[in-house]
Amino acid sequence: MSTQTLQTQIECSDLVRIFSAEGVEVQALQGLTLTVDRGELTAIVGASGSGKSTLLAILSGLDVPTAGKARVAGHDLLAMGSRERTRYRRHVAGFIWQQTARNLLPYFTAAQNIATPLAIAHSRRRDRAARVDELLELLDVTDVRDRLPSQMSGGQQQRVAIAVALANSPEVLFADEPTGELDEVNSQRVFDALRDVNERLGVTVVIVTHDQAVSKQVRRTVQIRDGRTSTEVLRSTSRDEHGVEQHFAREYAVLDRVGRLQLPQDYLTRLSMRDRVRLELESDHVQVHPSGDDDSVDDSSVDDSSVDDNEETR
């Protein structure tokens, strides 16, 4: 376990979250599986309603899953009592919302906003100013120290928000569409700040985003579809023999603990796969064939262990 937690920071398997209201049940997460290692920078993408915000709310301790398993930095998110949950929010998870205005209290200055989580966590008062200044400097917003949020630009607000989220030195930073309301330049600056934090402080960062510009710069992008992790894209950079920087991106389907995987929707349509498929085990891969009840479909095979670069098809 100790080695596991040292390596694996976030571990979700078969995570289910059902919202029920007035007799209507909505399954926001339907057995989601995700693993994030310590120090990783991960982006989570997906259509709206795919459950990514729900996942983030659960991971940051704001919501409780209905079933499944979720561990973050050794904390079992399903079994946490309110005391442990409070400690978790204070010291383990940091959080940044999409709406710049929601991250900061409008009547507090930047410094005061950063000091608020310190006060909540009962940090010693004489240490606060130093910590506040350290964070302001880290995020390059020292000049807005004594300004109210309304006197800052959107980008400054979000960077202060990151500082607020970092105040109590969390192990993981969750950001829900942190650049959603920003222009391109500010988006980049905020993303740079997040990457900077990730690299310099070693904080694990999970970003939910719609922003392709952001997701393309992230080493690992997890796509959620219908409440499940469907595919992952891993990017790497290397130099070829001519010294030219080459970007590689590979999309993988996610295989869960018991062997389930999601086939991309367009594969299914193209091959008219429905209800049943036929699997064939080859020496180094598995083939998926349409059930064969319908002879009109030819015997084309889908190699599912490695789907060629097909990212962001939607």
Partner 1 sequence: MSRLGTFALVNRHLGYGRAASVLVAALVAVAVLATVIAPRALAVVAADELHTNLAARSPVLVDINGSGYMTFKPAGPGQTVAKRVSELDAVIAALPNVLPNPLATAAGTPQWVSRTAPLDAILPGVPRLHVLADLALDLHWMDRVRFIAGSPPAARDATADPDAPLEVAISAATAQATGLKAGDRIGYQLVPLVVAGIYEPLEPNDRYWAHQPDLATPIVSPAAGGFPTVSAGFYLATESAAAFTEDFSAGTLNAWIPIDGAEIDANDADLIATQARALATKQMTLLPYDGDLELQTALADSIQLVGARVTTITALLALSLSGLLGVLLAVFALGVRVIITRRATALSLAAARGASGTQLRTLMAIQGALISIPAGIVGAVVALLILPEPLVGPSAVAAWVLPGLIAVAPIVLSAVFTAPRGLRPSRADLRMRGRSRLREIAELTIVGLALLSLFLLSRRGLATSAASVGVDPLLSATPLLLALAVCVVVLRLYPLPLLALQRVFRRRNGAVGLLGSSRAIRDPALGFATALALVVGVSVIVFSIVFVGTLRAGIEQSAREVVGADVRLEATALDAATVRAIGDVAGVKETAALTVLDAVDFVHTDRPRQITVVIADTEALHSIRPDIPVIDRGTGPPPVLLSDDWSSAIQGPDSTLAGSEVAIAGALPADALPGISNDWLLIDAASVDQLGISVSSAQYLLITVEPGADSAVVAAGVREVARPTAGTKLTVESVATELQTTRTPVIVSLENALLIAAAAALALMVLTIVLASVTVATARNRMIGVLRMIGMSPRQIRGVVAWELGPLAITAIVVGVALGIALSAIVTGVVDLRPFVGGNLQPGIVIQPLWILVGVGAFAIAVIVAAAVAGVVGRRIAPAGAVKMGEG
Interatomic CA distance for residues 90 and 84, integer angstroms: 10
C-alpha 22/C-alpha 37 separation (Å) is 39
**22 touches partner 1 by CB under 8 A:** yes
Contact between 107 and partner 1 by CB under 8 A: the answer reads yes
If the CB atoms of residues 62 and 79 are measured against partner 1, the closer one turns out to be 62
In this chain, which of 18, 30, 108, 256 binds partner 1, going by CB under 8 A? 108
Among 44, 55, 73, 115, binds partner 1 (CB under 8 A): 115
Q: Return the C-alpha torsion angle 94, 97, 98, 104, nearest 10.
A: -110
Q: How far is the CB of 155 from partner 1 (least distance, A)?
A: 19
Cβ(224)–Cβ(51) under 8 Å? yes
Examine residue 178 and tell whether it contacts partner 1 (CB under 8 A).
no
> Considering only 31-39, 85-93, 183-191, 295-303, which stretch makes contact with partner 1 by CB under 8 A?
85-93
Backbone φ and ψ of 276, nearest 5°: -135, 145
Cα dihedral 63/119/121/17 (nearest 10): 0
Q: Of 126 and 247, which has the nearer Cβ to partner 1?
A: 126
**Which residue, among 5, 52, 58, 11, has the nearest Cα to 33 in the 3D structure?**
11
Binding residue for partner 1 (CB under 8 A) from 4, 6, 26, 102? 102
Say whether residue 164 binds partner 1 (CB under 8 A).
yes
Torsion of CA 166, 168, 173, 175, to 10 degrees: -60
End-to-end CA distance of the chain: 39
* Candidate list 11, 14, 73, 97; residue touching partner 1; CB under 8 A: 97
CB of 159 to partner 1, least distance (A): 17
Distance CA(58)–CA(77), nearest Å, equals 8
Answer yes or no whether residue 132 interacts with partner 1 by CB under 8 A.
Answer: yes
Binding site for partner 1 (CB under 8 A): 21-22, 60, 62, 82-83, 86-91, 95, 97-99, 102-103, 105-112, 115-121, 125, 128-129, 132, 145-146, 164-165, 167-168
